[in-house]
Amino acid sequence: MVESPTKVGRVHFAPLNVPLQRRLQTFAAFYYSFMTFFFPLLNIFLPFYIVFYTSYWWVLVIYAIFYIYDYQTPKRGGRPNRFIQEMTLHKWFAEYFPIQLVKTAEVKPNHNYLFGYHPHGVISIGALTSFGTAATGVSEKFPKLKFRLATLGGNFVLPVRREYLIAFGLIDCGRESLEHVLSNEEKGQAVVLVIGGAEEALEAHPGKPSILTLQKRKGFIKVALTTGAHLVPVYGFGENELFTQLDNPEGSKMRTWQKFVKGITGVTPLIFHGRGVFNYSFGYLPYRSPINVVVGKPIPVEKVESPTDEQIDELHARYVAAITQLFDENKKQYAVSENAKLIVN
C-alpha cells in the first residue's frame, strides 16, 4: 500500500513508501531533466576545468580535431545510435507520464515523410521520447521508416552534449539538413519537425486552449514540395500540461521581454516549474501527466522543383485543415480537458 503525500504548508512531499518501479520512473525523469537543463551548463565549464585543473588537456585537442572533422554530421542525416535509443532508461521515462504513441493510419515506407509535431510545449518531451527513442514502439508501429528528429542547430554547438543529441537521431532543423534527408533516393526517410518552435513554447500553459504558431510557418511546406516528401500531422495531447509557466499573455511586459530576448539570442527564455524528486509542488521534473502522441494520415505531396506562392499556400491550407481535423477527432479520447480547444495562429 502506497502512503499519501505529506503536506507541509503549500508543499506536498512524496511518501516514503513508493514502489520500486515508480522510483525508477522518477529517476529517469530526473536524468532527463538534468541532461536538458543542467548538462549544457556543465559542458560550458568542463573544458576550462580540464585545461586548468587537470593534466588531460590533450583529450580536448583530440576531441577538437574530431569536432571539426565531424562538424557537418547534424546537417548530413545525423548518426543515430540504436544502443542509446533502446536503453531501458527511456522506457522508464515513458512510463513516468505515461507516453503513448497512437497510429491512426498507415504510413508506407515507399515514400519519404515530413512529420509535423504539435504543440511544442516547454521542451517537446512527447516528440523526443516517441521518435528519438524506442520507448513507445515507433519501430514496431512504423516498420522500415528511419526517423530523425530535427532541432535547432545551436543545440549541436556544445561539445559532448552534441554527441548525446546525435545519438538520439537528432539533426539540424535548417532547410539544407531537411532537404538532405528527404531527397534521399532510399525511401522510408522520416523527419520529425516541431513546427511551432520556440515561439510556440510561450503558449504552453496547462488547462488552457492549445495555441499553435502555424499560419506564418510555411518553410516546411516548401521543403515538402521541393523534395516530394509527404506531410504527416502529429499532435501530442498533454504536451502543454507538463510544466506550470509564469503567466505571459500577449501584450504583457513578460511576453514583450521574452520576445526581445528571443530576437537577440534566438532562444526563448521560459520561466516555469514542475515538480521535484521528493515533492510534488516545485522543481524541474515534469508533472506525471499522460501524453498521447497521435499520428495522422499522410498528405500526398507531388514534387515541385520551384513551387509558386499559390502552391505553397494551397498545401499549407491542406496541412492546417489536417492537423485541425486530427485534433478534433481525437480530443474526446485523449485531451486532458473535455472542453479542449485548438487555436491556429
Q: For the chain, which residues score pLDDT lower than 70? A: 1-5, 8-9
In a domain, 102, yes or no: yes
In a domain, 1, yes or no: no
| Domain with 189 in it | 6-344
In a domain, 48, yes or no: yes
Q: Does the reported pTM lie above 0.85?
A: yes
In a domain, 134, yes or no: yes
Burial-class residue 223 by CB neighbours within 10 Å (0-12, 13-18, 19+). buried
Domain count, the chain: 1
In a domain, 241, yes or no: yes
Contact between 165 and 155 under an 8 Å Cβ cutoff? The reply is: yes
Bridge partners, residue 295, by sequence? 103, 234
In a domain, 19, yes or no: yes
Q: Would you state the pLDDT for residue 1?
A: 47
Q: Which three cell numbers stand for residue 287?
A: 508533472
In a domain, 232, yes or no: yes
Q: What is the pLDDT of residues 210-248, one digit of tens each?
A: 999 999 999 999 999 999 999 999 999 999 999 999 999
Q: What is the pLDDT of residues 165-219, one digit of tens each?
A: 999 999 999 999 999 999 998 999 999 999 999 889 999 999 999 999 999 999 9
The residues near 273 (Cβ < 8 Å, ≥ 6 apart) are 243, 244, 282, 283, 284
Contact between 101 and 210 under an 8 Å Cβ cutoff? The reply is: no
Contact between 170 and 206 under an 8 Å Cβ cutoff? The reply is: no
How many angstroms separate the CA atoms of 126 and 141, rounded?
A: 16
The residues near 181 (Cβ < 8 Å, ≥ 6 apart) are 77, 112, 148, 171, 189, 191
In a domain, 164, yes or no: yes
